[in-house]
Amino acid sequence: MTTVSDVNPAQRDLRFFRTMITAMAVVLVSGFVLQLAMGRSSFGAPLIVHLHAFAFMGWVAIVVTQVWLVAGGRAGLHRTLGGLAAAWLCALLALGPMVTLAAVRTGRAPFFFVPQHFLLVNSATLFAAAGLVIAALALRRNRDWHPRLQIGAFMMLMGPGIGRIIPMPLLAPYAFEIASVIPLIVPLVGMARDRRVHGKVHPAWGWSIGVLVAVLIAARLVAFSPVGDAAYAAAAAGSPAAGSDGRAFPPPPPH
């Protein structure tokens, strides 16, 4: 029988990372399941929404599978699946901005988000998360940086799931930021464990927190500036949203 003391520190770290990412995935998916169960979402959405949902949930499945593979000693298969993960990330980076743009142009942006802020911050958060993934891939041979940056990237994508659990309409005008910072509990837990187990906090956690906070601040500043006005006008041109005020909250859906 193997005891905790028989497991080397690196393996204990991998098991911790596996637990963290699995818990994150459960919370994220639960938000979507909750909305479906409450009748607030349906499968009657446009095709682009379904494609994005497939890509997004596929990414969640890939991340969870990857961490279980490496924690289970299947490093070879982990590396092989990494090639698919890189290609999948490219699809996600294309579909994310496309579905956001489609929502803005058709007036389907959530009513608790200002449209031009939603247009910018949604894509900015996605690309920032991708940046952390790319950094993690560049440091894939470093067993300290690689998994922590991957967790940081996954943390940045939890907002949509969290936002379907908390009362977003009551949190405007900072609903997006609140849904995005709640997952910061993940790197904070990681930092606390590093301090307890390794005696010091790994800097990858700080980078993950810093990137998220910087993106949220920058996106809000840009969105409510002439640059944001111009970006919204260009995005809405030729659509039902053309000429609308990108800084005004959309009306809530009819009951």
Digit-coded pLDDT (tens) for 106-116: 988 899 999 99
For residues 31-45, average pLDDT: 78
- Cα–Cα–Cα angle for 131, 107, 175, rounded to 5 degrees: 55
Q: What is the pLDDT of residues 207-226, one digit of tens each?
A: 999 999 999 999 999 999 99
What pLDDT was estimated at residue 231?
A: 96
| Token pair of 8 as six digits | 């080397």
**% of the chain surpassing 90 pLDDT:** 76
Model confidence pTM above 0.95: no
pLDDT at 157 over 90: yes
